[in-house]
Structure 1
Amino acid sequence: MRRLLLAIACTGLLAGCFTASSVPNTQKAIEDRLTCQCGCGLTVHSCNHLQCGFAVPTRADIAKSLAAGQTADEIIARYVAKYGEKVLSSPTTRGFNLVAWYGPYVAVLIGTIGILLLLRRWIGGKLHADATASTATALSDEDRKKLERELEELDK
């Protein structure tokens, strides 16, 4: 059981090691990293409003910036400087934002441990109660004879 918990914890920690530090210099990749600010909750690439006041000009600006030779990181940094981190479609992997990345794994781990401890307590309590019940006092000779008589009467 401990090996399983250790494996789950290591998997969660290693997941952050394999994220790409820079995005490819394609327009779609950059648009997928930016959230549309029109209120639709989609990325700039996925925004389906035909006359969106944010996505349409942003797509044109990204295309123009790529043609001018800017890198994806420079374009994204410019939008973060203008709109803040809320423009990013996923939180950065720095500072308090790490809670967004690792918080769900920690919550699942804590919940699993809590459930296992609760089950152990419930099952352990029942096993202890069964052991106590089985070591109860034996019937006296008088009670045993009475029980045998009643059972014989039922058989008749």
Structure 2
Amino acid sequence: MGIAVYNEVPMIFNDGRDEHRFTVKLSPATESFRLESGMIRRSIFIGKRMFNKLFQFVRNEYGHNLGKIQYDDEQMIKGSATTEQHDQFRFRIEEGDGIEVVLENEAVPDRQLRASIKPVYSTETERKAHLRAMIPSVLAALILVREANPVL
């Protein structure tokens, strides 16, 4: 059988002041996910530039670009991300009993944003799909949190 249409993954996004809980519903078949938190329910699509799998762009359900991601290597565990508001971040993924994404704002390197995700997958194909959607989901969560609280 194939991957489940939507595989729900809980995510905790910490912006340094508050903790925001999201549910990421991954759909690997369409390269998209649904990000939910309280009243927020947004569909996010992951695109890539031709055959370059190290570059991704993130769009919402209306086709509006939210940001772009450039990975440093084939493992897709570190790289840089830029939001549409021109905020630039460096990121890295740390795997342990869970997966943690650390975002460092290039303008203020001391300030780190963290997202913790409990992996919920049963096959290597699902694991790779989760890792491909990891950074786009954290970047989208950051943008949605900033829309709700522009001070961040």
- Shared fold (TM-score, shorter chain, > 0.5): no
Decide which structure has the larger Cα Rg and report it.
1
Classify the TM-score, shorter chain.
Answer: under 0.3
TM-score, structure 2 normalization: 0.22
- Of Structure 1 and Structure 2, the greater strand share is in 2
